[in-house]
Amino acid sequence: MSWDTNWDTIFKERPWGKYPGEDLIRFVARNFYQSPDRSAIKILEVGSGTGANLWFIAREGFQAYGVEGSLTGVELTQQRLNQEVDGW
């Protein structure tokens, strides 16, 4: 069940949010790329939408977690991670 049906509508009607923003990429790179064990780092995104940021985080070897109020957003995230991230 969604707690924000407005986002359900948006995510169903608009194919956007496929790639993470540059600010997130820079933040993760500056703070976590030098870690000797990326799989030990857990990153939580609140309001994860269709999963673009989670996709990036998981593909870079970190543990990715998300909270999303739109069931459609969660479903799209799960589909993408299952298809594109090894070992998800």
Predicted pLDDT at 57: 98
Domain membership of residue 65 as a residue range: 5-84
Q: From CA 53, how far away is CA 42, in angstroms rounded? A: 13
| Domains identified in the chain, total number | 1
pLDDT tens digit sequence for 13-60: 887 788 999 999 999 999 999 999 999 999 999 999 999 999 999 999
Read off the CATH number of the domain in which 68 is found: 3.40.50.150
Q: Which pTM value belongs to this model? A: 0.89
Residue-wise pLDDT for 55-84, tens only, equals 999 999 999 999 999 999 999 999 999 999
Looking up tokens 């069931």 gives 71
Given this model, what pLDDT does residue 70 score?
A: 93
